[in-house]
Structure 1
């Protein structure tokens, strides 16, 4: 198969969908790989490294005129027509972006959105959400430390003792757990909250205190289990109790990192304006849900703003700020997906009945697949 890797055109996107490591493996499998010149430069992947791995370097036309096009983000409306009918597109396409999905279907592209891969053991190697969230959680702490006007660790000096910063992490998924681990390495005192009581052991194993909100009803206990590794919306009474606890702990925090997302829905509000107003002057909030409405209503997507003496950071693509490692992990995710997508005996025959492949399918045969099916 002819595989093309274009340069990412979205503003601020520094990642690339294939690295020299994965290109070498694709070439060894018998595929012809063509990258747009400079596609990997922002991810520390020079054209020469790709050529040494067996790839060809071409222009944007060569990268899009392939049997399989590998992308990080969805192609723009100007890029979609560059793909030919019957081509395969693999990337993080925005599973619920109906307009983009319809455009891909009109061109006749068979598109797969890797965000939709199920949270199963078999699909772990292609779980792009986890690989990129892991990086976002790490980077969130470093960005918070950059904006925070004090030390994170406790320091004992001749001039006196500096207290350790208090970090509050809201949401203990992949990003939240990595944020806890990173903040711990930097010497902060950490607390964390999550709707799923089952993550308490993980939180505490990383050295953080878990803020436990009691589950009072069978309904609360059932919903708290989550589904497919994701949190579910909790009942209003539980949310009220959690909000009260978070509000109290927020007043003591120096840095708050919010990571809560619910697939297909606007991000839940975990840090209302009233809580921000009572935070200490100079405190920092890094809102990893900024792209989905934010866990704090004061957050502005892709901006750093100050409200009530608190700095709110709304970067929506933290993984791209660590482009080299983010690309390395993402490219391996893509390679794992291609391994199950393409038949080992005849790559032209797709394994469309595979459960992971079906879950990721966005468009095929000129039709958009229902995101709920």
Structure 2
């Protein structure tokens, strides 16, 4: 009798950028439906928030909290209509887990308006983020409203809907009305006036704690910093993929009469930003030292300092500047308004008295 050796299965190729962009658009459309589509005059997200409120307070949703949750649903629904949608590379999930913000490094959530990529954003992870034994995270969304001290930052982690009831208590899982969508939020965190609040007990929903959720968002902003020219293509380590918009109310078949016979309207498109695999690396060193030759050289007592709004002469083509100069061209500087921001080594306190940079000792 001859033995036959079983060959290992051939691994499936990773999905293309177009397929990932379609998944990201479907996630955005489903989240917009959860928070905005009414069922019995209430959005679907109210049932989810009611379950989250029960896990926090062990009691039914009170009438005093209903207007706040309705406002939260309306705010999230409006943010999901026109967000900046991004597709993360497959390796970004592991890089986020190994980021210093999630390994105990101090986090200073200051000047979020300058740190955020856009006020409303959603990032889809084709390879989900796996934190310990929690539910895998397929998406991370943020919504910013207000400005200055009145700034409110809402953060959502997104997982698959079928996993949410697996950790809930049996009685609560039986009475929970989850949306019939593939993806669903499993945590909602709000940061307002430097106070981080949660809307649920994260353990029954398999979600990270609020501090870890904020650290994930800041780590993603650190890996993928804002680009000065968001419409540039490969030079910024990203490119755009246009996919059909799944939630446009006018995207219906028009009546075919004599006047519009043969008229075929162009279906609306939505631009999805694809982040390239090796493009963005963490700006914060996992083990920063004063003698590190690979990064910025700072003294151990150097603190961060705030810089007010100012005008500076900057190159209009920062990503193509080197290629233009090497080709014999010239970049005429233009006057650019620089928003208020904070300079200095990341992860340190801010010194309001310091207005100049401390020059470190060079070896």
Taking structure 1 as the reference length, what is the TM-score of the superposition? 0.26
Q: Which has the larger radius of gyration?
A: 2
Structure holding more strand per residue:
2
Choose between structure 1 and 2 for higher RCO, CA contacts under 8 A separated by at least 6 residues.
1
Structure holding more helix per residue:
1
